[in-house]
Amino acid sequence: MSDTIFAISSGAPPAAIGVIRISGSEAGSALRKLAGRDFTARRSSLTTLRDADGDTLDQALVLWFPGPATATGEDLAELHCHGGRAVLAAVSRALEAISGLRAAEAGEFTRRAFANGRIDLAEAEGLSELLSAETELQRAAAIQMAGGAFSDQVEAWRTAVLRLSAQLEAALDFSDEDDVSELPPQFAEGIGMLSQELEEWLSRPRAEKLGEGYRVVLAGPPNSGKSTLFNALIESEAAITSDIAGTTRDVIERNVAIASIPFSFVDTAGLRDESEDTIERIGIDRAREQFARADTVLWLGPEGEGPERAWEVAAKSDAPDYQAKPSADYILSATKGAGVDELKQGLVEAARVALPKPGEAALNARQHAVLSDAAQALRGAIDQGDPLLCAEELRQARGAFDRLIGRTTTEDMLDALFGRFCIGK
Amino acid sequence: MHSFDVLVIGGGHAGVEAACGAARMGARTALVSFDLGAIGAMSCNPAIGGLGKGHLVREVDALDGVICRAADAGAIHYRMLNRSKGSAVWGPRVQADRVLFKAEVQRIVKAQANLTLIAGEAAALRLESGRVAGLELADGTALDAPRVILCTGTFLGGTLFRGEERFTGGRIGENSAQRLAKQLRGADLPMARLKTGTPPRIDGRTIDWASLPEQASDDESWTMSALTERRANPQVFCAITRTTEAAHDAIRANLHRSPLFSGAIDAAGPRYCPSIEDKIHRFGDRDGHQVFLEPEGLNTHLVYPNGISTSLPVDVQHDMVRAMAGLSKAEIVEPGYAVEYDHIDPRALTPDLQLRAIPGLYCAGQINGTTGYEEAAAQGLIAGLNAAAGETDRQAPFLDRANSYIAVMIDDLTLQGVSEPYRMLTSRAEYRLRLRANNASTRLTKLGVEAGCVSDERSKWFEHREAARTVLAPLFAQKLHSKDLAEADLPVRRDGGEKPISEWLRHDGVEFADLMPWVDTELAEALYANTDLADEMAEDAAYEPYLARQEAELRDLRASENLALAGDFPFGEVPGLSSEMIERLTSASPPTLAAAGRVPGVTPAALSALLVYARRWQTAA
């Protein structure tokens, strides 16, 4: 039988409330030892927690969930204590002293939920994303994954491929018997439609994009107002601004959420080819790398001289040396803030298109790779004239679907996945 | 002499392979049969092989079994089914003369060292503290043996149905069968009922052959056994006819008289080989079904009409047959009938086909819920080799789903059980591209040699073949330029560049013969001396990209095959398994984690729970 585990499941103390979760067969008896009584299932009750010597630890709200219909599939208790460090440490010590109980390892609660059949692999992955979600969009995408929407989709694909395989296998194994007809004409069409659907999913924005944020790189010659605009966009003083050309020598990156959308703003060194300052040169090289990774580049230099597809921005419209950019996308004053809101609005609209839609499950890197295998197999099946090899491609696609929902999972992959959870979930 | 290592009961296809296999492994073996003259009899259709089934018997042959050699000795018609598809799904099949087939089986059995034939009725198993200790014959004779293999076909509660008629059937006498059956039932084994059937036999002299299209024997030289040098018998042709609307009407008007529809038989029959009344009922929109008229031998007039297995009353069979083209004057010699019988749920067996409940007792063939000579032969071989390995210092060859159809079948049976008579199909084999009927020797003979179940004759043949493989290898690696091929009018692009012959052979319209002008004479001669092997190597090359892609999958498979869930694995204690999962896993008792993944209905989450628990359990043990 496995140990009973416990951990602080809320954020790092101190906080107003600290939640300690206990999961396992000894959860009930541990609760009895601390509170001195039994609890009604699924009701919150205020109680006094005491240690083995009878000394009061805390006044806490206690929730008792008998297994197996719980988050972990085991008996589960939650102690909503006061969130001070000393309080939580004392309660943890008291739990640790109970035999059969130990502190949980990273991801162990979720691992138990998975092992006990409460969630499947895709759901566990969604939960992992959910817990690290920082913005509303990230949360909405992760909740789709954790809720099993993607698992249901994979199951549907798997069934579709299975149906196609069955038609093909019938033609292979029974073709000499005239009672079995040849492949139905819709067969190739069926593979084509499925393949297209997968390609569509693969071309969707990825889950990592939500974590990384929509990447906006500010670029332009020295002293074109990049850092001032950068600060206006992130609404803080993260980048050092001054009037001396070349102040920003390296790349500065800040993550902020605008209208619940995660952004990553990047301020780069000014692009001066003639610079002889080595440190600054390195900064310029890095700026060029940044262009390649950017979702949008804001070009603050002379019109038409920026990287391809950059947005033309005139950032110093109120400066005495203002160089007109007649077809600029945005004309603004970074120092006074005029026009900055319009630019933000433009970025939000661009990001909404490029990031996963609210309520849409987004794939992480592993899921994307495995789904690509399935898509590749289906593409191979379309072109395949030999029904035997077509059948093999379909089998490969089925295997990929199985891997997506963890049917043929290996322990390494599980360790890697569950190691990503913070302790207590 | 009443003491043996291995006793085999039954002289059908399973019994023969079990007895000869055990004897080849060096075990002192006896085969007990009620009628020694019936050893090697073909009880139903006079054909060996077919789709999937051809793979099985070639594998039995690769491990030096009997069935393919006997099939060649009796073959009067060779046909490679599915020839138009890829070679991995080709199905070699022969029709054999019953007399010649049986004679060859008997010759091989009698010549087999370590094998004693005992004529007698098996009356009861002798058990000692729950283990098999031997067998008691109906005349009171007691035979000692720590391993007994039951290859008794449908003897368990078999009933024959024909229209309103009923017969109690089974190849062993009624009384003894009852005692043995009672013992098995007493062991509280899970049992179920299945159904199978056979068509009426027709007198060939009453068939109007001239009016029917012929199907001739393949004019190639391939044989069923790797050791057969050439086809032995004159080849006969089959004829093809069809059922007609009139025949269907005769059947429809009498469906209520068929035990299948009157409710007398409710056991499941094979979906892929339904009776003719089933076909008419299920595919009512079809105006006819193909029927092959297959001669049963060179010196008999009996003809087997393949495709009209039936349990209708005799008068309806008569009307139905006469309504078909070419059969208007046909005489039925032996009417068709259906058989309903008990079988053991094969999930009660371990992968060596031993009953978990009665150590030392093995079951092979129809008793395990399979249908077909080929399936029976393959199980018999595995039971024989494993039973012998238990009493000698040898190890049975290691077979798994990646190296043989035999293992695919046994894995399916012991993990999934059966809901209809189990027949081999190529779609059951995941690694079908590497499991071809024509590379069975390459896959298995070496394993057989190491296990010690292969004769000197075959060992030498195999050595010789492997030497030829080494000689031929450079031919496949030899590089040719697309320009040269294009100039010789081969259908390749001029700018295709330089490629090895193995790759050129993947192009449509490029054959060995086309490339010979560039091949060294000595190599070309080696090629023509070993065309079967060369074809096999060319197929390997053709499938190579697909085989390479399967490697990672096979590594994962073998890794989880290594995580053992031994016989006493406590599925009930794995946290989080639902009672449904526990029930499924307990009745299938998968020996490894990989096998657990193949138990039907087992969910990914349940597998992960198993994985986590099994690791802990393994370290604790």
- Asked if B573 lies within 8 A of A1 by C-beta distance, the reply is yes
- Asked if B611 lies within 8 A of A411 by C-beta distance, the reply is yes
Question: Residues with Cβ < 8 Å from B560, sequence gap 6 or more?
Answer: A410, B592, B593, B594, B597
- Asked whether the predicted pLDDT for residue A192 surpasses 50, the reply is yes
Cβ(B14)–Cβ(B43) under 8 Å? no
- Asked whether the predicted pLDDT for residue A277 surpasses 70, the reply is no
- Asked whether the predicted pLDDT for residue B305 surpasses 80, the reply is yes
User: Strand, helix or coil at A59?
Assistant: strand
Q: Which amino acid is at B535?
A: D
Cβ(A108)–Cβ(A418) under 8 Å? yes
- Asked if A410 lies within 8 A of B559 by C-beta distance, the reply is yes
Q: What fold is seen in the domain A4-119?
A: Gyrase A; domain 2 (3.30.1360)
In Å, how far are B163, B289, B315 from B312, measured between CA atoms? Answer: 5, 17, 8
- Asked if B604 lies within 8 A of A120 by C-beta distance, the reply is yes
pLDDT band at A21 (very low <50, low <70, confident <90, very high): very high
Cβ(A224)–Cβ(A300) under 8 Å? yes
Which of A127, A174, A388, A414 is the best substitution to test chain B (most B C-beta atoms within 10 A)? A388
Question: Closest residue of A to B427, CA-based?
Answer: A169
Measure the CA–CA gap between B381 and B21, rounded to whole angstroms: 6
Q: Which amino acid is at B163?
A: G
- Asked whether the predicted pLDDT for residue B197 surpasses 50, the reply is yes
pLDDT band at A4 (very low <50, low <70, confident <90, very high): very high
> Of the ranges A181-185, A313-317, B238-242, B381-385, which one carries the lowest mean pLDDT score?
A181-185
B132-138: list long-range contacts, CB under 8 Å, 24+ apart.
B132/B358, B132/B359, B132/B360, B132/B361, B133/B360, B134/B7, B135/B7, B135/B9, B135/B32, B137/B32, B138/B173, B138/B175, B138/B176
Instruction: Give chain B positions within 8 Å (CB) of A115.
Output: 575-576, 605, 608-609, 612-613
Looking at residue B422, the DSSP 8-state letter turns out to be: B
How does strand A296-299 pair with strand A214-219? parallel
Distance of alpha carbon B235 from the chain centroid: 24
Question: Residues with Cβ < 8 Å from B416, sequence gap 6 or more?
Answer: B347, B588, B598, B599, B600
Among B51, B286, B430, beta carbon nearest to A173 = B51
User: Where do the structural domains in chain A lie, given as residue ranges?
Assistant: 4-119, 214-354
Question: Residues with Cβ < 8 Å from B253, sequence gap 6 or more?
Answer: none
Distance from CA of A381 to the nearest CA of B (A): 12
Rounded to 5 degrees, what angle do the CA atoms B491, B494, B499 make? Answer: 85
> Of the ranges A157-161, A405-409, B574-578, which one carries the lowest mean pLDDT score?
A405-409
pLDDT band at B36 (very low <50, low <70, confident <90, very high): very high
A→B contacts (Cβ < 8 Å), by residue, are 1-2, 68, 73-74, 111-112, 114-121, 169, 172-179, 386-389, 391-392, 395-396, 399, 402, 405-411, 414
- Asked if B290 lies within 8 A of A408 by C-beta distance, the reply is no
Distance of alpha carbon B519 from the chain centroid: 40
Selection from B496, B494, B498, B495 nearest residue B480 by Cα: B498
Rg (CA), chain B: 26
B198 — phi, psi (to 5°)?
-145, 150
CATH superfamily to which A214-354 belongs: P-loop containing nucleotide triphosphate hydrolases (3.40.50.300)
Mean pLDDT confidence for A24-51: 92
A138 — phi, psi (to 5°)?
-60, -45
Measure the CA–CA gap between B243 and B165, rounded to whole angstroms: 25
Cβ(A93)–Cβ(A44) under 8 Å? no
Cβ(B189)–Cβ(B357) under 8 Å? yes
Cα dihedral sign, A315-A319-A324-A326: positive
B246-250: list long-range contacts, CB under 8 Å, 24+ apart.
B246/B323, B247/B319, B247/B320, B247/B321, B247/B323, B247/B324, B248/B280, B248/B287, B250/B316, B250/B319, B250/B320, B250/B323
Question: Closest residue of A to B577, CA-based?
Answer: A116
Instruction: Give chain A positions within 8 Å (CB) of B306.
Output: none
User: Tokens standing for A355?
Assistant: 């990031």
- Asked whether the predicted pLDDT for residue A263 surpasses 90, the reply is no
- Asked if B605 lies within 8 A of A408 by C-beta distance, the reply is no
- Asked whether the predicted pLDDT for residue A367 surpasses 90, the reply is no
pLDDT band at B174 (very low <50, low <70, confident <90, very high): very low
Question: pTM for the whole thing?
Answer: 0.79
Question: Residues with Cβ < 8 Å from B555, sequence gap 6 or more?
Answer: none
Within a 13 Å sphere around the CA of B76, how many CA atoms are in the beta-carbon half?
Answer: 19
Q: Which amino acid is at A184?
A: P
**Model pLDDT, residue B384:** 98
In Å, how far are B45, B99, B154, B201, B274 from B304, measured between CA atoms? Answer: 7, 15, 21, 5, 16
Within a 13 Å sphere around the CA of A378, how many CA atoms are in the beta-carbon half?
Answer: 29
Distance from CA of B134 to the nearest CA of A (A): 42
Cβ(B489)–Cβ(B468) under 8 Å? no
The answer, yes or no, to whether ipTM is higher than 0.95 is: no
pLDDT band at B172 (very low <50, low <70, confident <90, very high): very low
User: Where do the structural domains in chain B lie, given as residue ranges?
Assistant: 6-197+341-456, 201-336, 471-552, 562-620
- Summarised one tens digit per residue, pLDDT across range A385-425 is 888 999 999 999 988 888 787 665 444 445 555 555 454 44
**Model pLDDT, residue B272:** 66
Selection from A94, A65, A89, A91 nearest residue A77 by Cα: A65
**Euclidean distance between the first and the last CA atom of chain A, given in angstroms as a whole number:** 20
Among B89, B279, B609, beta carbon nearest to A116 = B609
The burial of B604, by beta-carbon neighbours within 10 Å (0-12 exposed, 13-18 middle, 19 or more buried), is given as: buried
Select, from the ranges A259-268, A310-319, A377-386, B61-70, the one with the highest average predicted confidence (pLDDT): B61-70
Among B430, B575, B604, beta carbon nearest to A409 = B604
- Asked whether the predicted pLDDT for residue A170 surpasses 90, the reply is no
Question: Closest residue of A to B286, CA-based?
Answer: A179
- Asked whether the predicted pLDDT for residue A48 surpasses 60, the reply is yes
- Asked whether the predicted pLDDT for residue A353 surpasses 70, the reply is yes
Helix A149-174 and helix A387-404: axis angle, to 10°? 160
With pLDDT > 70 as the criterion, what percentage of chain A qualifies?
82
> Of the ranges A9-23, A75-89, A123-137, which one carries the lowest mean pLDDT score?
A123-137
DSSP string, B548-565: HHHHHHHHHHHHHHTSB-
- Asked whether the predicted pLDDT for residue B621 surpasses 90, the reply is no
β-sheet bridge partners, residue B46: none
- Asked if B432 lies within 8 A of A388 by C-beta distance, the reply is yes
Mean pLDDT confidence for A141-161: 82
- Asked whether the predicted pLDDT for residue A246 surpasses 60, the reply is no
- Asked if B597 lies within 8 A of A169 by C-beta distance, the reply is no
Selection from A59, A75, A62 nearest residue A22 by Cα: A75
Mean pLDDT confidence for A292-303: 88
Mean pLDDT confidence for B352-360: 94
Measure the CA–CA gap between B30 and B32, rounded to whole angstroms: 6
Distance from CA of A63 to the nearest CA of B (A): 22
Distance from CA of A168 to the nearest CA of B (A): 10
pLDDT band at B167 (very low <50, low <70, confident <90, very high): confident
Question: Residues with Cβ < 8 Å from A249, sequence gap 6 or more?
Answer: A269, A277, A279, A280, A282, A283
Distance from CA of A388 to the nearest CA of B (A): 6
- Asked if B575 lies within 8 A of A119 by C-beta distance, the reply is no
Beta-strand ranges (E) seen in A311-390 are 311-314, 330-331
User: Tokens standing for A377?
Assistant: 């197999």
**Model pLDDT, residue B619:** 63
Cβ(B403)–Cβ(B443) under 8 Å? yes
- Asked whether the predicted pLDDT for residue B74 surpasses 90, the reply is yes
With pLDDT > 90 as the criterion, what percentage of chain A qualifies?
24
pLDDT band at B545 (very low <50, low <70, confident <90, very high): confident
Reply yes or no: is the peptide bond before residue B359 cis, omega within 30 of 0: no
- Asked if A388 lies within 8 A of B556 by C-beta distance, the reply is no
Rounded to 5 degrees, what angle do the CA atoms B303, B305, B306 make? Answer: 130
- Asked whether the predicted pLDDT for residue A248 surpasses 60, the reply is no
Instruction: Give chain A positions within 8 Å (CB) of B578.
Output: 117
DSSP string, A29-47: HHHHHHHSS---TT-EEEE
Selection from A151, A292, A168 nearest residue A219 by Cα: A292
Question: Is 1.10.10.10 the CATH classification of the domain at B562-620?
Answer: no
The CATH-assigned architecture of domain B6-197+341-456 is 3-Layer(bba) Sandwich (3.50)
Cβ(B228)–Cβ(B200) under 8 Å? no
pLDDT band at B444 (very low <50, low <70, confident <90, very high): very high
Greatest Cα pair distance in chain A: 89
Q: What fold is seen in the domain B201-336?
A: Elongation Factor Tu (Ef-tu); domain 3 (2.40.30)
**Model pLDDT, residue A142:** 73
- Asked whether the predicted pLDDT for residue A278 surpasses 80, the reply is no
Selection from B586, B64, B96, B53 nearest residue B370 by Cα: B53
Instruction: Give chain B positions within 8 Å (CB) of A406.
Output: 604-605, 608
Question: Closest residue of B to A174, CA-based?
Answer: B51
Q: Which amino acid is at B174?
A: E
Distance from CA of B59 to the nearest CA of A (A): 19
**Model pLDDT, residue A34:** 93
A81: enclosing H helix or E strand: strand A76-82
How does strand B147-150 pair with strand B290-295? unpaired
Q: Centre a 10 Å sphere on the Cβ of residue B203 and count the other Cβ atoms it contains.
A: 16
